[in-house]
Amino acid sequence: QPTFRIAPSILSANFAKLGEEVQNVIAAGADIIHFDVMDNHYVPNLTIGPMICEAIRPCTDALIDVHLMVKPVDRIIPDFAKAGANIITFHPEASEHIDRSLGLIREQGCKAGLVFNPATPLHYLDHVMDKLDMILLMSVNPGFGGQKFIPGTLDKLREARRRIDEYTAKTGREIWLEIDGGVKVDNIAEIARAGADTFVAGSAIYNTPDYKATIDAMRAELAK
Ligand code: DX5
Ligand code: ZN
């Protein structure tokens, strides 16, 4: 069995008690905190920035996975690194210089990743595999929680998995494959079979009354 990681998106948490919401999902068995940053420019919604990252940092030892849906990308990277982010990912369309942005993230001591919208081709991976720690495939169009999983993403996951496995066989270096959008208890097993190892779930976890029951149910599906 590969290692599977569950990453609740705090986009669907109760922001009036965000610190507790972070602690509660980790206590319920989650692995990573997924942190969605939207700027009302690259995507049509506005969420949270480095100040909130800094505020929740003392609440947990878990990795904070910052998903940047902002344009431009570069000038906000050091702010998130200082705020305690562990992983920073961005959309290639939002950066003029993808290689430079990836390098900047690593220079700041964070793991770096690229995010692919449903219609963004994987060829952006061609010359940057050495600079990546994570590949994030969007299974919805970015901007909002609670959308439906786009089934075509499964083929793309298989293709990304093939590229990663080939790269790992050659270099011995691991790259995580994360999926984001519409992940639920009833589709997580199929998504895992297509190659994902890290699962973002916002509404599927935070909109249920018992986080542990939901995360346990996800793990049971993953163990099948
Ligand atoms: C969408 C965000 C996702 C979102 C996922 O732009 O990147 O992380 O919060 O929410 P669910 O799991 O509800 O689809
Ligand atoms: Zn996200």
Distance CA 211, CA 114 (A): 28
**Is 118's C-beta closer than 6 angstroms to any atom of ligand 1?**
no
91 lines ligand 1 (CB under 6 A): no
Is the distance from CB of 34 to CB of 65 less than 8 angstroms?
Answer: yes
From ligand 1's centre to the CA of 38, what distance in Å?
11
Q: What pTM did the predictor assign?
A: 0.98
**CA-CA distance, 186 to 218, in Å (whole number)?**
8
- Sheet-wide strand order for 32-38: 5-8, 198-201, 176-180, 134-138, 111-116, 87-90, 63-69, 32-38
* Residues designated catalytic: 36, 180
Give the C-alpha distances (Å, rounded to integers) separating 120 from 18, 21, 140. 32, 32, 12
For the chain, domain boundaries: 5-222
User: Could you report the per-residue pLDDT of 40-82, keeping only the tens digit for each?
Assistant: 999 999 999 999 999 999 999 999 999 999 999 999 999 999 9
Task: Find out whether the beta carbon of 180 lies less than 6 Å from any atom of ligand 1.
Answer: yes
CA-based end-to-end distance of the chain = 10
Distance from Cα 181 to the centre of ligand 1, integer Å: 5
Handedness of CA 77, 82, 83, 88 (dihedral sign): positive
CATH superfamily of 5-222: Aldolase class I (3.20.20.70)
pLDDT of residue 1: 64
Predicted interface score ipTM higher than 0.90: yes
Bond before 72 cis per omega within 30 degrees: yes
Residue closest to 147 by CA, chosen among 138, 156, 136: 138
Residues in binding site for a divalent metal cation:
34, 36, 67, 180
Tens digits of residue pLDDT in 135-184? 999 999 999 999 999 999 999 999 999 999 999 999 999 999 999 999 99
